[in-house]
Structure 1
Amino acid sequence: MATPTPQISAPVISQKQRKAALRKERRKRKRQALAQARECGLKSGASGTPEEEEEINEDDDEDNDIVEAERQRLHKEWLEKERLAQEEFRLRCEREEAVRKRKEEDERMIKEEWEAQQKREQEEREKKQQEKRGRELENGGPWMNPEAPVTVSSENFGTERDVANCPFFLKTGACRFGDRCSRKHVYPTASPTLMIRGMFVTFGMEESRRDDYDIDAWLEHSEEELQESFLDFYHDVLPELKSVGKVLQFKVSCNYEPHLRGNVYVQFDTEEQCKEAFIKFNGRWYAGRQLHCELCPVTRWKNAICGLFDRQKCPKGKHCNFLHVFRNPGNEFWEADRDLHLSPDRTQKPAEIREIPQQTRERQAEEQEQKQE
């Protein structure tokens, strides 16, 4: 069974359009008739009457006037719609601008109120703090800063649990993070120890500095050559330092890390001697380099020097963040390595120190024999 075809409804047209279509159809018929008459007249020798042609031209002029009037009307309607749209757009822009200005004004007022409130609170806090200081001074008690830094007497000072101060800076006077470290680097105003950054530099150390990951950088520069360079440096620099005052410790770092490489540590007997050495050597030139001196917080060398370095068991090698130092000729300043100069009870000579374990064993053996008897 065939499906019925859907009926397409004719477009709905107005009365004016229908009349115009009818007039157009009549003109079409008249032109066709006039063309047939001309064709027949040419065959018979006659032509169409001028009245018919004039009538057709008048109908055409009338239709053109109607079309032009319709076009003018549509153009006026479009102009009116355009004017209304422009007016509506202008009003909408004005409303949006007014809303924006009102919002900016509200934000400005809120910000001013918040700043005024913060200023009042700050003034109140300062006033209360001043009153508290005045009461403490009136009562005779010393006023203490509530945000005082961690002191040496603190329980965790200089340890990993000390969240305020950098333990590596306190122990070695240098930190691999430098100014980017998350903990404080407290530079002492007075110290008996002077540190000269990067003073001892050799060709092999320069080669390794260019590429820290090149394991072949030191193949042509043996440890013996490096030790000979250190001995020349030792005998050249130490007398000049001793001319300032008594030197208790002299150490040169042989670490590969950039913040420790070639650092020279000199501990004097007094802080005044260290200050004098700082004034004398800071900014001077040595081996084509300008010296940069700092007052170092290191006074305990047992904490600064890597404990596994002497036994050659440090797992990090010369990339350790604790000091790996050159051995001084003649084992000079050995007392400072163990901080013996800080303890009056441990001032024995090396021979006496070696005899202590033997004496202890003999005394223990005598006590054990007496118990057995």
Structure 2
Amino acid sequence: MPPTLSASPLLAELQVSSLSLFYIVFFLQLFAVLLLLEYTNSQGLQVGFYKNKCRDLEPTVIKTVAHFIWRAPSLAPSLLRLHFHDCFVRGCDGSVLLNSTSTTQAEKDSIPNQTLRGFQVIDAVKAAVENVCPGIVSCADILALVARDAVLLINGPYWEVPTGRRDGRVSLASEALANLPPPFFDISALKASFNKKGLDEKDLVVLSGAHTIGIGHCLSFSSRLYNFSGKGDTDPSLDPNYAIRLKELCPPTDVTTFVQMDPGSSKIFDTHYYKIVTQRRGLFHSDASLLNDTVTKTYIETQLKSLHPSFFKDFGVSMVKMGNIEVLTGSAGEIRKNCALVNS
């Protein structure tokens, strides 16, 4: 009588080995899934996060923002800038909104942030949201939604905003100075600054496209006009005729005057900014630097040549990516009652 399968020592050994291999593969797959879940939960953001907690959130936000933008469209780029300046320091945690205290100078009072505007809009939106959903929505999420709606209200792109951020309790002026890329950065420094935040070269050139709206203060680019290399010279990457015009608008000691970042199109969200960059009329040295990298230069040229530029779609994608920087979720941080103050 032939032996049964179980009676074969070799086959039994193979069965055990196969079983062991099965469990090894199974647990490896389970571990991979758990890692993925841990990563997803660590991000914690999702579109519609508040749908069962604050159904009227987004209508309330855009209605309040529209009240301001329709009266003062120049607030749109300021509100967009607030979100950017928040995310690059301690992540998107609303820390840029906190006031300084008797012992600590907050981000909003640091040198790069002293020209920020629009805090009153955030306060108004927070008050309106608290009226319909008290104690539920973070100031960090409000910043992200307000930035999107401000752009949309001046005929810019729309993108879904994942929410679920919580507010930080710390705001330090020194960290703003260390983390915000200044307008005089060259391309290498810009790439390093963005890469540090998980953003790549495409994100850099796409988010720089936000300079299609808004203004720049003379102080932020005067070195390009009067003392670029420390010898009283003008930045050679700046169009000479444009430099002459900027000098007429911005005397050497001017600290209050501002000019359009995208002359002739600074109130319209479009691809015109990329055109002026190729004409060497980008206002900041950081704008001009985009032509010194293959990826960023190619993107600019592609947008200008295309009959159907992808900039609007790309901008939404990069804004969502930026909005994920070092977010606080779950039980981290808090939901501030007042965006300028930590909870007592």
Same fold (TM over 0.5): no
Greater RCO, 1 or 2 (C-alpha within 8 Å, sep 6+): 2
Higher strand proportion, which one? 1
**Length-normalised TM-score, structure 1:** 0.28
**Length-normalised TM-score, structure 2:** 0.29
